[in-house]
Structure 1
Amino acid sequence: MLFFLDQISEQDLPKFGGKAAGLWKLHQLGIRIPKTVLLSTDAFEHYVEKNKDTLFSQSELSIEDRFLSCPLSEDLVKRLKSVLQGFQQPLVVRSSAIGEDGKKKSFAGQFKTFLSLKQVDVVDAVLKCWASLYASHVHSYDSNASKGKMGIVIQEQIEASWSGVVFTVNPQSGSWSELVIECVQGAGEQLVSAHVIPDFYLFRRPRPLPFPLRRIAAKLRMRLLDKKLTSVDEAPESLLMELAKKSIFLESKYGEALDLEWSVDEHDRIFFLQARPITQMQTDHRGEDIIWTRQFLGERWGVPATALGWSEIQPIIEHLIAYPQTSSLFLGGGESTRLYQGSPYINSTIFRHLLFKLPGAEPAPRFFLEMLPPHERQSWKSRYGGFPDWRVYGSIFQTTFKERRWERFRWNLFTNWRAWENYESQLSQFLEQEDTELKDKDEICLQIQKARDMAYEYVKVHVCSLLFANIWYQYSAWRLDQSGLEPEPYLTSNRISSTQRCNWQLWKLGKGQSSLDTVLELYGHRAEFSWAIFSERWCENPKRVIELGQLLAKEEDPQVRDTEALLALNTITDELPYDLRLLVRLTQRYLYLREEQRFHFDRLLWFWKKRWLWLEDFYQAPLRHLSLKDINFPISAEIKDRAEQGQKSWEDLLQKWKKGNQPSDFLMGEFPLNDQLNQLQGLGISEGRIEGKVRILNTFEDVEHLQEGEIMVVTTVDPSWTPLFLKAGGVIMELGGMLSHGAVVAREYKLPGIAGMRGATHIFKNGDEIILDGRMGRVWRKPTVLL
């Protein structure tokens, strides 16, 4: 049951678990690793079988205490003691579960590791490692983990001068022409536990090439592109270069991109502690179950959707995005949208098939990538290249031409913004003509139908505007980067938006320079979450408007700040070469539309809501809690009862949401994808590094607790939350991408931000001290050691 690496063969590896297998391969390649002895899974199986009645009984003891209460066999304890006589202390005990450090899942940070042990502590450490296989967070990560087995790795601990990790491809961009090294002084355990901010080094490296060209590629010079330091002393460049070259060598032997842990001892010798494939690198998810996401729609419904509100909006969305034949043939036959626990979801299965990746480049289009769960995003980023599913593209084009689908969109990539200007004019004219006194039921029902028609026209423009904003943003960012320019300062709106003008009025209200009536006349249609028709509007809760004004009044004049920022943007944009300037100006125009359109859609939805409110009052029934197909005029007592039952269910769901119990960001078929609550990595959406305390904002009602400079952690934000960006020090969002509202506003306000951090409102607690890096999309917990 106890073996040295030289005593086992490749055929024996399944008995020792994933981490042990990685160490064995390093050893076989002649790579220096710490002195190691392995405990096989046979020992685990024998121990569990002997003690199963105690280990898995109904008991108040924790699973770890139950394992500690059952001793190892005397024979195994004696053998451990004998073997470890030849090891120098301190010692390390690590888990090595079946599947750990694998291609599909890494189990990073899930199981126990123990450092700085004396020989007498090893037995308890082994038992605690085994017990960690049954921990609740491991079950959340992989519900099948507890059915597996676990080996154990025991090693001499390296007294490290430097430690860290190497990623042989850039894990954030997916670029195979870049290698990343992160390191800290001393032991590296705090680095992988996200308790220390590492030094960051980005290298240009030779790309993997076909065999005849590898010798040429090997002669390409490795060079340092970028670094971000927090240590007092900087790691020697010769050490970093040696690490990079050894890592490329190992990648060539493993035949895949690697995540490597390493340490350097006091004699400057490099030891590799672990080698594993970058998780999900080779997995193709196209044949898996249907994926549903709250991305995009979830940002627009921060409260549970009412049955009526959803049944009004869903057909409009379906009209534009549903391709039933394509779905039936290639995508599992699922609908395009659905409601789950009050939240709208989009069927994002199609984006698996539409994505592509040029060799060594980033997956495209980025908007499609953001609609997939994190493990699938990482899979796409880590692979060297990938083709789209041409059958799906072909089916979509066939349906598009057969049904003349282009007539449903304002699809011109260059002139969609003009279509918006026409729509905005039509909307203002419509509201001016139709927003009359409400007194006739039939006339009101006719106006509701007209509102639906205007909503169809809005979505025709809006969906394309969003897509084009993403396309032009990604292309402009690439062009600016190729020109040696940082994209972020250039890629923001080049006009003052209605949301910004709204903030100016709120600031004046707080300063006593404007009246509440003026603000409500101009902006009373605003809501916490814009696409939810029955979301509370500002004019329905003036107290909230007053609070926002008081909040903004503590900051500098936003009109001055916004005007100066716009002047600075125009100045630097005018200095660009002509062709690049035209491209950036077009992108800026679409970024302006990204937010402006939602502001005006709020106007239409308030018009729409008022008509339904009148009908609710007329029939004395909460009609919003019935779907359209269930509403028949006149309203019977039975329909009224169903509406009241629906209201109670909705209110119960709302309370759950307010307590932070919102639905999962992603569903796999009918089941929520479990959030990885130890995950401290998201999508960097706005550069900057900020240290501060966490403030969880589950609803807009929580904003009164936000203190100056705190980092607000939210599920998502809507345009009406914009004033908070003037007070917060940073923002972390569970939903959203590079062009979500929160991302755009964070960049405008120079606020460090992260999006797509699943489970963030549960990972952190109010008052937690963290450090947020908006460029890398990383968060470190405190107490933090700044080296």
Structure 2
Amino acid sequence: MFGVAQDIEWALEYESDGLNNRKTLHKNETTSPTVYILQSRPVTTLTDSSEHDDILWTRAYGDEYWADATTPLFYDVMGKMLTDYVNHEGARIMGYKEITDTKLLKLHKSRVYFNTWVLEKAFSYYPKFARSQELLNYFPLEDQHRISQYPSILHKTLLSQILIAIRDPDGMMHKTDKAYRKWAEGFMEKCAEFDATDLNMLSDRELLSLYHDIENSGIKHYQLIRYGMVSHSIATNLMIKNWLIKWLDDEDGSLYAGLISGLDDNKTVEMNIRFSDLAKTLRKDAELLEKINSVDEVNSFSEVEIDELISSNSNFKKDFDLFIADYGHRSNTREILYPRWKEDKAYVVGVVKLLSSSDLDLGKKELESRDNRFKTGKEVSRRIKKEKGGFFKEKIFSIVLNLAQTYLTFRENQRFYLDHLLFRQRLMLLDMGRRLFEKGIIGDVDDVFFLYEKELMSFFDMNPSLKELDENTTLNDTLKLKDYIYERKNEFYRYKSSLPPKFIKNGIEFDDTIMEYDEKAVYGAAASPGTFKGIARVVESIEELSQLEDNEILITSNTDPAWTAVFSKVGGLITETGGILSHGAVISREYRIPAVTAVKGATTIFKTGEELVVDGNEGVVYKKE
């Protein structure tokens, strides 16, 4: 029934005898009681002893930022940056002494889990009104009320802001976005220098030195997102959302959605418009459109085959090449195991093919969103001014709204530049993998991603050289390493398409208590307002997006910015992970698509072809009879 072993609280009710249901049973007499399940939580098997660390780990926080299945190498590459610069260094700067050296992350069944103790201590610096349900959902249900009522340490919060101003001025709310844009400009110059380098011509030591140079250049990214994403974006948007509900009864979030969509300089939206423009060009060329539509598996085409396929239309090919030049560093996932679009142009053609079946103009739609934002802004301003103390309230609201909009755009754009960093790191790590493969140390170039960083770097350390180390590496050492890689690959692919339980402690996995709802209603988080009735389309991988029809309800585990171009086709969105600030939620509001996120088991509860109603106002999905 549940799919995994359960820890169940249950009760029996015997048939009543009049007003007395304590009927005495005589010898050999039997009765059939009714069994009630009061609550149930999944429990899986115990894991190895290394899991027994007495820490409660949550996957839910990772769902907001790091939801993809993760290889050991990427866990180390990005995990150390989040730990060292977002958590530890940030905590030292702000005076959060309790969390300056605590373990932040755990890799479990190919998913990244966060230490709930660190999150709880960080949230204690938030005022109570900012501890929204979206944030509380990172914790087990039994802990949420306690954390929501935890005394606010406002004097320490104020002190932390003073310390930021002294120790790291770029972390101040009015400076972080500007500092990030300045860093991004300089980093793109660094990327241009990198792109002119032939990695094949570098010695092992030169390759390692270049890797560290690019990695160090990216540290500033993490030092700024610790403020822009972790603090500024969450705080300002929760304040705006709270004020709109309190002052203007915006319970369904429609005013909030109107105010934070149609924002300028959103890299994800700009990318989607470019996708739409390519589809528009394709629709105008009936011959090329027919040629591409006649190919069932265009996603499997090689780069040579793609170039040959689109070469008949010089305008389309020119626009396509410009798109790759601007967005070729992007992918369907952060995970560096997977190729980027510059390495997999077939994916881009597949998305354009999908969008060409609709005549929707995303550029025009974006202008409509901006117009709606201006109109909503005027309405909200007018209504707030009518409130008691309205003049003062409107001034404060306007200032905070501007910051909320700035840091929503920041959230999207930081990913654009992170993808630039990860693309260059991927290329260097692949070249390291090639060298190890040629030495027979690993069985395949991509196996490099199933090494931990220390294991990999030990082959490229400044002393000894790879050549010298290879001469001293025994056959037994190589076979042992290949065995480790084999085990890690098996685990990664076993759990790649399934979500493990939300929490783990001392090797025991569990989810939130399962509450009994009406069998026709499934609850999640209200992420984008509106309601939509339509046909479900369950998509478990990026390859299945090609099956999506116009105005279907897209149901998936989680979305990535690279997916969002197809949002123009969908009528509603349901995801298993994410909250109101996830990419799926942000782009759903941008395109005014009703969305419900954090629906546990959505890809198994719902089936393709079912008729559903998505209620993004209340965070409910209804099954239609």
> CA offsets, 1:703-734, max 9 Å, x none?
12322222222221111110231122211222
Contact 1:292 1:348 in 2 (8 A): yes
**2:416: which partner in 1?**
599
Contact 2:596 2:619 in 1 (8 A): yes
Match of 2:149 among 366, 386, 403: 386
Distance change in 2, residues 1:714/1:509 (3 Å): same
Contact 2:572 2:595 in 1 (8 A): yes
Match of 1:344 among 112, 117, 120: 112
Contact 2:576 2:603 in 1 (8 A): yes
Q: Give the root-mean-square deviation of aligned CA atoms.
A: 4.1
**2:240: which partner in 1?**
476
SS in 2 for 1:754: strand
Aligned-partner Cα distance in 1 for 2:565–2:194: 31
Distance change in 2, residues 1:322/1:520 (3 Å): same
Contact 2:125 2:156 in 1 (8 A): no
Deviation at 1:372, TM superposition (A): 1.8
* Residues 1:501 and 2:270 are matched in the alignment: yes
* Residues 1:517 and 2:321 are matched in the alignment: yes
SS in 2 for 1:538: coil
**2:543: which partner in 1?**
701
More strand by percentage? 1
Contact 2:107 2:113 in 1 (8 A): yes
Deviation at 1:647, TM superposition (A): 4.2
Distance change in 2, residues 1:779/1:380 (3 Å): farther
Aligned-partner Cα distance in 1 for 2:357–2:499: 32
**2:505: which partner in 1?**
668
Report the AA paired with residue 79 of structure 2: Q
Distance change in 2, residues 1:696/1:456 (3 Å): same
Report the AA paired with residue 225 of structure 2: H
Match of 1:616 among 425, 430, 433: 433
Aligned-partner Cα distance in 2 for 1:393–1:295: 29
Deviation at 1:650, TM superposition (A): 4.1
Deviation at 1:514, TM superposition (A): 3.1
Aligned-partner Cα distance in 2 for 1:406–1:744: 33
Match of 2:495 among 649, 652, 657: 657
**1:116: which partner in 2?**
none
**1:373: which partner in 2?**
140
**1:730: which partner in 2?**
572
**1:424: which partner in 2?**
184
Aligned-partner Cα distance in 2 for 1:35–1:746: 56
Using the size of structure 2 for normalisation, the TM-score is: 0.73
Contact 1:730 1:751 in 2 (8 A): yes
> CA offsets, 1:322-350, max 9 Å, x none?
49999x9989x962111111111111224
* Residues 1:295 and 2:60 are matched in the alignment: yes
Aligned-partner Cα distance in 2 for 1:603–1:358: 32
Deviation at 1:300, TM superposition (A): 4.7
Contact 2:528 2:593 in 1 (8 A): yes
> CA offsets, 1:531-586, max 9 Å, x none?
x2333312222221111111222330111111231233234435635543333222
Provide the identity percentage: 20
Deviation at 1:374, TM superposition (A): 4.5
* Residues 1:489 and 2:258 are matched in the alignment: yes
Aligned-partner Cα distance in 1 for 2:579–2:238: 12
Aligned-partner Cα distance in 1 for 2:543–2:490: 17
Deviation at 1:473, TM superposition (A): 0.7
> CA offsets, 1:36-89, max 9 Å, x none?
84534x87xx79xx9xxxxxxxxxxxxxxxxxxxxx826xxxxxxxxxxxxxxx
Match of 1:551 among 354, 357, 381: 354
Equivalent residues in 2 for 1:86-125, closer than 5 Å: none
* Residues 1:321 and 2:159 are matched in the alignment: no
Deviation at 1:394, TM superposition (A): 6.7
> CA offsets, 1:338-395, max 9 Å, x none?
1111111111224445546999x85626664242234544x369xxx723375x9979
Deviation at 1:603, TM superposition (A): 0.8
**1:739: which partner in 2?**
581
Report the AA paired with residue 344 of structure 1: V
> CA offsets, 1:131-173, max 9 Å, x none?
x55xxx9654689xxxxxxxxxxxxxxxxxxxxxxxxxxxxxx
**1:583: which partner in 2?**
400
Deviation at 1:757, TM superposition (A): 2.0
Match of 2:454 among 629, 652, 666: 629
Equivalent residues in 2 for 1:328-339, closer than 5 Å: 335-339=103-107
Aligned-partner Cα distance in 1 for 2:617–2:452: 44
Distance change in 2, residues 1:140/1:478 (3 Å): closer
Report the AA paired with residue 600 of structure 1: Y
Match of 1:690 among 502, 513, 532: 532
Deviation at 1:424, TM superposition (A): 1.2
* Residues 1:460 and 2:223 are matched in the alignment: yes
Contact 2:365 2:591 in 1 (8 A): no
Contact 1:420 1:461 in 2 (8 A): yes
SS in 1 for 2:60: coil
Aligned-partner Cα distance in 2 for 1:38–1:411: 68
Report the AA paired with residue 336 of structure 2: I
Report the AA paired with residue 693 of structure 1: I
> CA offsets, 1:429-470, max 9 Å, x none?
211223222120322211211222133210111121112111
More helix by percentage? 2
Match of 1:364 among 127, 131, 138: 131
SS in 1 for 2:449: helix
* Residues 1:451 and 2:214 are matched in the alignment: yes
Deviation at 1:426, TM superposition (A): 1.6
Aligned-partner Cα distance in 1 for 2:402–2:579: 21
* Residues 1:310 and 2:47 are matched in the alignment: no
**1:205: which partner in 2?**
none
Deviation at 1:687, TM superposition (A): 0.6
Report the AA paired with residue 605 of structure 2: I
Report the AA paired with residue 499 of structure 2: Q
SS in 1 for 2:535: strand
More displaced, 442-451 or 297-306? 297-306
**Alignment: residue pair count:** 520
Distance change in 2, residues 1:418/1:674 (3 Å): same
Larger Cα-atom Rg: 1
**1:567: which partner in 2?**
371
Deviation at 1:639, TM superposition (A): 5.8
Aligned-partner Cα distance in 2 for 1:342–1:417: 32
Aligned-partner Cα distance in 2 for 1:348–1:341: 18
Using the size of structure 1 for normalisation, the TM-score is: 0.59
Contact 2:165 2:171 in 1 (8 A): no
Deviation at 1:18, TM superposition (A): 10
Contact 2:579 2:585 in 1 (8 A): yes
* Residues 1:73 and 2:29 are matched in the alignment: yes
SS in 1 for 2:363: helix
> CA offsets, 1:655-683, max 9 Å, x none?
4335x432222223422213638662211
Report the AA paired with residue 533 of structure 1: I
Aligned-partner Cα distance in 2 for 1:409–1:712: 42
Distance change in 2, residues 1:696/1:446 (3 Å): same
Contact 1:473 1:491 in 2 (8 A): no
SS in 2 for 1:339: strand
Distance change in 2, residues 1:453/1:719 (3 Å): same
Aligned-partner Cα distance in 2 for 1:456–1:685: 32
Structure 2 unaligned blocks of 5 or more:
1-9, 45-52, 283-314, 382-393, 460-465
